[in-house]
Amino acid sequence: MRRVLAAGALCALTSVPLSAQARGTFVVLSGGDTVSVERFVRLAGRLTGAIETRVSGRTSRLTYSVLKDGRGRPIRLEFALTVPQQGLSTAALDIGPDSAIGPVMLADRESFHRGAVPNGAVPLLYPLSIAMLEDLARAAPPRASSAADMPVFTWGNQRTGAATRAVTRVDARTVDVSEMGGLRLSLNARGEVISARDVGGTTTIARGPAPAIVPSLTTPASAPGRASTPPMGWNSWNRFGCRIDENLIRETADALVSSGMLSAGYRYLNIDDCWEAQQRDANGNLAADSARFPSGMRALVDYVHARGLQVGIYSSGGTRTCQRRPASLDHEVADARLFAAWGIDYIKYDNCNAENRPEQVRFTAMIEAVKATARPTVFSICEWGEARPWLWGRQLGGQLWRTTEDIRDSWLSMLGILDLQVGLEGYAGPDGWNDPDMLEVGNGRMTHNEYVAHFSLWAILNAPLIAGNDIRSMSDSTRAILMNREVIAVDQDWGGRQGYRLRDDGAHEVWAKPMSDGGWAVVLLNRSTADASIQLSMAELGLATPWWKRLLGVRDRRHVRDLWTNETTEIVGVLRRDVSAHGTVMVRIR
Ligand code: GLA
């Protein structure tokens, strides 16, 4: 059987060292009918990726995440696998030294290949990953002088001894692998695989552009909507709760346009719970509350569309919504058709009164019903993070998934939600976003500094920016926060890489997000009630001046743009800023 492995976009590196961060794609064509594409992102302490395999025209998808300890040893494995006609399985397992996966945990992919994939799925996984080989190559610096001294790494199921592979470092640029009949890999100076040769006579590996199937990897082709950057808009719930009516919606539509919010990017006007009549109509359809929405939904949607906005609506995968209005469980097809007929562009689908029926089944039913309407619709999974929707939301076809319970207009609620985002960064990306809930900016119970912190942090998290205040009476200070275009640009960066907590000093934290221009967005957060000075060395971002430049007395200067004062300065080596109590400083560094 002929196999071709083409490494396209392999390790598209920025200036950041590979150990801190890397991403890549590789493609395996095996025989006539098997195609696998893997994309991975490696941040310090975490490897995440997705593998899509097509066999006989059927596509299976696996997403995975391997968490490592401070010494780089895998300690936990999480994955979600969708197999045609078998549905979706998710699992997470802690990896111990004596786990069935085997004690030699050199190979991240191998770990679930061996121990964590349900019956029938193993053939879908190709047992060799370039990411893995590069790890191995780096783990074995070529110091020995004779081949006999070269380290050999094995992996596989050490208990049964089955299928053990070996990797031998031949010299600085060559690695042999006892896989697929034998491969000889050539490495570049950074330890990346640049080409490979078949030693056993059955395998060809060639570097080359990835085939055109790659773009379909992360988003199911039939996803109901698209959200290449996190959705931006407004939602009625945080400020108005059930006190909504068609006048509020119309006035808010007008205000979104006249305030400049629409031009700043806030294009969805989302009507949350309580728009519904208390009962379905005589035909069994959902109906708007006729006292509050006398003109009906279709007319209201037309009004909002005419202003250049898009419209979102709310329902729940339960018998009743959280405010006990009729909801969509077992009415998915009819309700999705009704929403499409009204011209709805965005559905927030909640989780109340679910009768203990499994999340994924209920959310799948509605997403499939929405897909069947063929109307492009953003689908927001509002499941509060209970069944870890970051593991399966994207596979089901959702574009965003709530990661926590409801936000409240308070500093502690906002920080509590922030803390729950740690470790989720690997799951977000174009067309699938972690949603730490809507904004409270401008609702009155936090100080200006606290709202600046809230907005800065939500931007560094790539959070959907869904304003939750009264747009009609926004103060200048609220307007300045919500419409800070440089902060919005961080949130909307096309690379879609979620920021993460780079340092946690207790009351002081540093959050960092790799930007697609090769620079970083950084938030210095002071959680305490005392002003503080917070420092960040460029080395922590992988931007240290190389040793040979330092020897020559050269120190790299970095441009630092403060996104709230709009000042640009230069720094050498260390960023140092005074950060007020309950405050933030947000900068971009290039
Ligand atoms: C849940 C959701 C909120 C809001 C309310 C409406 O609590 O998490 O965002 O939609 O329901 O009832």
Q: Got the DSSP string for 406-456?
A: ---SSHHHHHHHHHTTTT-GGG-BTTBEEE-----TTSSSS-HHHHHHHHH
Q: Which residue has the higher pLDDT, 62 or 336?
A: 336
Residue nearest to atom 3 of ligand 1 (CA): 406
Half-sphere exposure of 164 (CA within 13 A, CB side): 15
Cα 319 to Cα 101, 193, 278, 280, 327: the distances in Å are 42, 54, 12, 12, 5
Nearest-angstrom CA–CA distance, 21 and 225: 30
Would you state the structure tokens that stand for residue 560, as one six-digit string? Answer: 């630092």
Catalytic residue chosen out of the listed positions 245, 289, 302, 406: 406
Which residue in 350, 470, 491, 493 is the catalytic one?
350
Structure tokens at 332: 């998915």
C-beta neighbour count of 150 within 10 angstroms: 17
Verdict on whether the full-model pTM lies above 0.75: no
- Residue 406: active-site member: yes
- The segment with the largest mean pLDDT, out of 7-16, 87-96, 275-284, is 275-284
Of 525, 561, 536, 530, residue with least CA distance to 453? 525
Q: Which of 274, 382, 384, 401 to mutate to test the pocket of ligand 1 (most atoms within 8 A of CB)?
A: 382
- Residues with Cβ within 8 Å of residue 468, at least 6 apart in sequence: 234, 235, 237, 238, 239, 438, 439, 440, 441, 443
Residue recorded with tokens 């004596």: 98
Residue pair 367/383 in contact (Cβ under 8 Å)? The answer is no
* 62 compared with 562, residue with greater pLDDT: 562
For residue 98, indicate whether it is catalytic.
no
User: What gap in Å lies between CA 484 and CA 435, rounded to an integer?
Assistant: 20
Give me 308's structure tokens. Answer: 């250049």
CA torsion sign for 116, 119, 120, 123 is positive
**What does the pLDDT read at residue 583?**
98
Q: How far apart are CA 412 and CA 417, in angstroms?
A: 9
126-140, 235-249, 363-377, 484-498: the lowest-pLDDT one: 126-140
Nearest residue (CA) to ligand 1, atom 8? 406
Ligand 1, pocket-test mutation among 406, 407, 439, most atoms within 8 A of CB:
406
User: What is the per-residue pLDDT for 517?
Assistant: 86
Q: Which of 130, 237, 235, 138 is nearest to 185 (CA)?
A: 130
pLDDT band at 187; cut points 50, 70, 90? confident
d(CA 298, CA 306) in angstroms, rounded, equals 12
Determine whether the shortest distance from the Cβ of 323 to ligand 1 is under 6 A.
yes
Residue 438 CA, closest ligand 1 atom number: 9
Q: Is the CB of 272 under 6 A from ligand 1?
A: yes
> How far is 89 from 83, CA to CA, in rounded Å?
8
DSSP letter for 443, please. S
DSSP label at 471?
G
Nearest partner of 302 among 246, 256, 349, judged by Cα:
246
pLDDT given for residue 333 in this prediction: 96
If one compares 495 and 94, the residue with the highest pLDDT of the two is 495
Find, among 589, 574, 569, 486, the residue nearest to 533 by Cα: 574
Q: Rounded distance, CA 566 to CA 588, Å? A: 10
Distance, CA 348 to ligand 1 centroid (Å)?
Answer: 9
- pLDDT at residue 148 is higher than 70: no
Cβ-in-10-Å burial (0-12, 13-18, 19+) of 328 comes to buried
Q: How confident is the model at residue 161 (pLDDT cuts 50, 70, 90)?
A: very low
Q: Pick the residue with more confidence: 71 or 513?
A: 513
Question: Largest Cα–Cα distance in the chain?
Answer: 86
Candidates 10, 13, 32; CA nearest to 22 is 13
Q: Are 81 and 61 in contact (CB under 8 A)?
A: yes
468 CA from centroid of ligand 1 (Å): 12
pLDDT in the model for residue 356: 83
Which is more confident, 135 or 88?
A: 88
User: Distance between CA 530 and CA 581 in Å, rounded?
Assistant: 5
Round to whole Å and give the CA distance between 266 and 329.
Answer: 30
Is 186 within 8 Å of 194 (Cβ atoms)? yes
Choose which residue among 238, 322, 324, 348 to substitute to test ligand 1 binding: the one with the highest number of ligand atoms within 8 A of its C-beta.
322
Number of the ligand 1 atom closest to the C-alpha atom of 351? 1
Residue 424 near residue 385, CB atoms below 8 Å: no
With a 6 A CB cut-off, is 353 part of the ligand 1 pocket? no
Ligand 1 neighbour 237 (Cβ under 6 A): yes
Nearest to 572 by CA among 584, 589, 548: 589
* 3-state secondary structure (DSSP) of residue 542: coil
- Measured over the CA atoms of residue 77, residue 78, residue 82 and residue 83, the dihedral's sign is positive
pLDDT tier at 14 (50, 70, 90 boundaries)?
very low
Q: How confident is the model at residue 94 (pLDDT cuts 50, 70, 90)?
A: low
Structure letter (DSSP) for residue 320? B
